[in-house]
Chains A and B, each alone.
Chain A
Amino acid sequence: MFFESIDFSALELPPAAQGLRGEVRAFLQAELAAGAFTPHLGHTEFDAAFTRKVAARGWIGMTWPKRYGGGERSYLERFVVTEELLAAAAPCAAHWFGDRQTGPSLLRYGSEELKQHFLPAIARGECFFALGMSEPGSGSDLASVRTRAERVAGGWRVTGQKVWTSWAHRARAFFVLCRTAPDSGNRHDGLSQLIVELAAPGVTVRPIHFMNGHHHFNEVFLDNVFVPDERVVGEIGQGWRQVTSELALERSGPERYMTTFPLLVELIRRLGAAPDARAREMVGRLTARLWTLRRMSLAIAFALDPGPGVQQDAARAGPDLGTEAALVKDMGTFFEREIVDAARLLVAVEPTPDATDTFERYLAETIVCSPVATIRGGTTEVLRTLIARRLLGALK
């Protein structure tokens, strides 16, 4: 029914990936010891200096071809790096989108010029990307975007408004999903992806503050912004297919079930060596959930990995694991909440943003951000509809 191509009993990370894990841990421990970053939960922090250090170790764009600054390493090695960064609550916002979404999209659909222009800079940790998908009138219903691009000599003029654009105030450019042809009945036609520089004339970025005052969201206004033809990603009119084809990787990664994980570690520390039966039971239950989610996430990484020596930019017909990815994200986001709930029920503290104790600070940070995970990257409701459609087929 699901995971048809997967042999769960044989899933095992290769020695190279486990070796890499040691390197990543040593790096993170050294950074922490040097006070290079303070781990925070809730919002992933944007730290360009930290991102450059990660890049210097070859951990951004690590699956990409070497000629574009990549490391030609496996998805499994990337999986290990991602989960270690999350376990350490390292500040990854500067490179998260570029590594996970922009890079793979450019590899698959971008022109040679675009790849050469952006990929090495992303991999060096020097070029940060944001994503311009949602609009005031388009949340879950992404195909309803109204930002439009008009054909002009040598390119396009883009006008519209994007919203919830995380880190647009720090990024260099963003992928804009927009309408390049009027809606002719099939609303998935006529959409395209363009790369817009955030410093370009006609672009205005305004902050939207999160309910705790944190600034990572923005609204971005595009007023007749010129985008040259070379900055079109893939084909004009193919934007919908391009955006949805990368969902398996986007929705199945450890970032979909590990964003509150460091709170679980602090909870275990706080509970001590011999807590009562209720605490033991809750910790055991959460562990079983984590262990299972990780196996499912790993299975998708295994299945998508093209294997050693295969070029990652080839337009290959990999297995379609979009539904499996939706399952991981749906269950993963609820698991993240269960950690928060277990922490507050087992250790009675009144949450405050001023807490100096790590456990208490993590608790406060995760509670405030707890609505977010089931909304971004596909709401619970959208995911479940997608999963049901696969199971039920098209009912008439």
Chain B
Amino acid sequence: MNVPNDIRSMLVESLTRLMQDHVDPKLLDAAKQDGWSQELWRELDQAEFPRVSLPEEAGGAGGTLSDLAAVLRVAGRFAAPVPLAETAMLAGWMLAASGLSIPRGALAAGPVHEETVTARREGSRWTVSGKLSRVPWARIASRLVLLAQTATEAIVASVDPARCRIVAGRNLADEPRDAVVLEDVPAEQAAPAGAGVTRDALRLRGALARSLLMAGALERTLELSVEYAQQRVQFGRKIGQFQAIQHEIARLGGETAAAVAAALSAAGTMERGGDVTLAVASAKIRTAEAARDGALIAHQIHGAIGVTDEYALHHSTLRLWAWREEYGNEAEWSAALGGAIQGRGAEQFWPAITAL
């Protein structure tokens, strides 16, 4: 038997309780205006959730990447308007892996797209420059952690966003996705990028984080759809009694289960090692496809009420439509994965699938 470990179950339970206590329509609506929920962040921060999986010696809370995966799934389920993924999965990881300490507070990470940040040494200090598009959470973060380049090496540098020029942007769910211009911004901390901290790894971790968040968001769309189908009466019957609705609920259930299976499995592969590209690409492709079908099924079950800003469904579906594009959509990852498979040839295909 494969039993989920107790520590992780407790982690998930306490995070779920915290979210249930704090994430309500009022908080989510306020976050649309403010870009995030500082109140929710404070609660999460006190309970150390933003530092799960980061080593204690760097200021982290310990735990495994799979523990963090479980945390992000819950965050996605509650549409938590906070940079948990960026802080722990991306920025905190870059810092800790490069021997730097992790500052308290919300962290953002970049670059997210095909852009370069250059690092220059001035005496004992590093400065960084570059133009970055659509950096998640940049304007509300207390530090922006960047993977920068010198002529010869990669540098991990942490800067104060207040010293950057930031043009606010947002995604479909009103989460901050900001343009950031850095002109010789002095780094608060900097060090040569640690082992494994590369642009590819950063992108894989970003894609994994979005897959996990999408898996959680799909779970919420399923919960809402089931609840609605159990209550809504039309033609004198609960709509869940109509087979046409039942079959759509079943399809949504399948997409949700597949998304959860793919995202958590990929986290396990990244934690243990193996064909991480196959696992993460598969997870991002499958969760994005589930988001495409799942979000629309959920709306169809809800009818018109689901598309209003007073009903909760949109918090999840708007995020699904935003997150499926972030860190590469299913077309980009499919083409990359398919290209790699074709390059290796037919005889290597089945061995690659079954390597783990």
* Complex-state Cα separation, A290 to B279, whole angstroms: 11
Q: In the complex, how many residues of chain B place their beta carbon closer than 8 angstroms to a beta carbon of chain A?
A: 65
Contacts of B249 in A (CB 8 A): 387-388, 391-392
Q: How far is the CA of A138 from the CA of B110 in the complex (A)?
A: 61
Residues facing A in B239-257 (CB within 8 A) are 240-241, 243, 246-247, 249-251, 253-254, 256-257
Known A302-B1, A392-B249, A395-B230; contact A327-B334, beta-carbon cutoff 8 A? no
How far is B268's CA from A289's CA once the two chains are assembled, in angstroms? 18
Cβ of B337: which chain A residues have Cβ within 8 Å of it? 283-284, 287-288
Contact B341 A287 (CB under 8 A): yes
Cα-based distance from A291 to B266 in the complex (angstroms): 10
CA distance A395 to B245 in the complex (A): 13
A381 to B283, CA, bound (A): 27
A296 on the B face (CB < 8 A): yes
14 contacts between A and B (CB under 8 A): A3-B261, A6-B4, A7-B8, A9-B271, A10-B2, A280-B338, A281-B338, A283-B338, A284-B285, A284-B339, A285-B338, A324-B257, A391-B222, A391-B226
**Contacting residues, chain B, for A387 (C-beta < 8 A):** 249-250, 253-254
Residue of A nearest to B270 (CB): A9
Which of A274, A296, A330 meets B261, CB within 8 Å?
Answer: A296
Q: Which 9 A-B pairs have the closest CB atoms?
A: A284-B334, A284-B338, A9-B268, A280-B338, A388-B246, A284-B337, A8-B264, A283-B338, A288-B285
Q: Does B319 contact A (CB under 8 A)?
A: no
Q: Which of B253, B289, B339, B341 contacts A2 (CB 8 A)?
A: B253
Tell me whether B304 is interfacial, beta carbon within 8 Å.
Answer: no
Tell me if A305 is interfacial: C-beta within 8 Å of chain B: yes
- C-alpha spacing A303/B1, complex, angstroms: 5
User: What residue of chain A has the Cβ atom nearest to residue B8's Cβ?
Assistant: A7
Please, which residues of chain A bring their CB within 8 A of the CB of B8? 7
Inside 8 A of A279's CB, which chain B residues have their CB? 338, 342
Given known pairs A269-B345, A284-B334, A391-B249, the reply for A327 and B66 (CB within 8 Å) is: no
Min distance, Cβ A38 to any Cβ of chain B, angstroms: 18
CA distance A292 to B279 in the complex (A): 9
Segment touching A, from B26-34, B89-97, B141-149, B348-356: B348-356
| Any A CB within 8 A of the CB of B258 | yes
CB-CB contacts below 8 Å: B172-231 with A: 219, 222-223, 226, 229-230
In Å, the complex CA distance between A389 and B289 comes to 24
Known: A283-B342, A388-B250, A392-B240. A268 touches B4 (CB 8 A): no
| Interface contact B261-A87, CB-CB below 8 Å | no
Q: Taking the nearest CB of chain B, how far is it from the CB of A158, in angstroms?
A: 35
Interface mask (B323-356 → A, CB under 8 Å = 1, otherwise 0): 0000000110111111101110110011001101
Q: Are B247 and A384 interface neighbours, CB within 8 A? A: yes
B335 with A8: CB separation less than 8 A:
no
- Do A385 and B342 contact each other (CB < 8 Å), given the known contacts A299-B261, A391-B253? no
- A277 surroundings in chain B (CB, below 8 A): 335
B interface SS class? helix
Residues in A with CB closer than 8 Å to B165 are: none
Bits for B266-287, please: 1 = Cβ < 8 Å to A, else 0: 0110011000001101110110
B334 A280 Cβ-Cβ under 8 A: yes
Hey, which chain A residues are within 8 Å of B10, CB to CB?
none
Contact for A302 among B2, B66, B338, B342, CB less than 8 A: B2
DSSP class of A's interface residues: helix, strand, loop or mixed?
Answer: helix
Asked whether A9 lies within 8 Å of B346 as measured between CB atoms, the reply is no
Q: Which of B253, B264, B281, B282 contacts A1 (CB 8 A)?
A: B253
Q: Is A356 an interface residue (CB 8 A)?
A: no
Q: How far is the CB of B236 from chain A (nearest CB, A)?
A: 13
| A227→B307 CA distance, assembly (Å) | 62
Please determine whether B254 and A273 come into contact, CB atoms closer than 8 angstroms.
Answer: no
Q: Whole-angstrom distance from the CB of A93 to the nearest CB of chain B?
A: 22
Complex CA distance for A307 and B3, rounded to whole angstroms: 12
Chain B residues lying within 8 Å of A154, measured Cβ to Cβ, are: none
A268 contacts B345, CB within 8 Å?
A: yes
B69 within 8 A of A: yes
B114 to chain A minimum Cβ distance, whole angstroms, is 17
> A291 touching B279 by the CB < 8 A rule?
yes
B119 at interface by CB-CB < 8 Å: no
User: Do B247 and A327 have beta carbons less than 8 Å apart?
Assistant: no
A269 with B338, Cβ < 8 A, contacts A13-B356, A292-B262, A385-B246 known = no
- Contact, CB under 8 Å: A295 / B261: yes
Taking the complex as formed, is A266 at the interface, i.e. its CB lies under 8 A from any CB of chain B? yes
Contact A292 B264 (CB under 8 A): no
Query: Judging by beta carbons under 8 Å apart, are A285 and B334 in contact?
Result: yes
Shortest distance from the beta carbon of A353 to any chain B beta carbon, whole Å? 23
Q: Mark out the residues of chain A between 254 and 291 whose CB falls within 8 Å of any chain B CB in the assembled complex.
A: 264-266, 268-269, 271-275, 277, 279-285, 287-291
- Inter-chain contact B265/A8, CB cutoff 8 Å: yes
A294 to chain B: which residues have CB within 8 Å? 353
A250 interface residue (CB < 8 Å to B): no
Q: Tell me the smallest distance from the CB of A94 to a CB of chain B, in Å.
A: 24
| Contact assessment for A291 and B353 in the assembled complex, using a CB-CB cutoff below 8 Å | yes
**What chain B residues lie within 8 Å of A3 (beta carbons)?**
257, 260-261
- Taken together as a complex, chains A and B put the C-alpha atoms of A283 and B353 apart, in Å, by 13
* Chain A proximity of B337: nearest CB distance (Å): 4
Is A296 touching B258 in the complex (CB atoms < 8 A)? Answer: yes
Using known A-B contacts A10-B2, A288-B281, A384-B246, determine if residue A1 contacts B341 with beta carbons closer than 8 Å: no
Q: Is B5 an interface residue (CB 8 A)?
A: yes
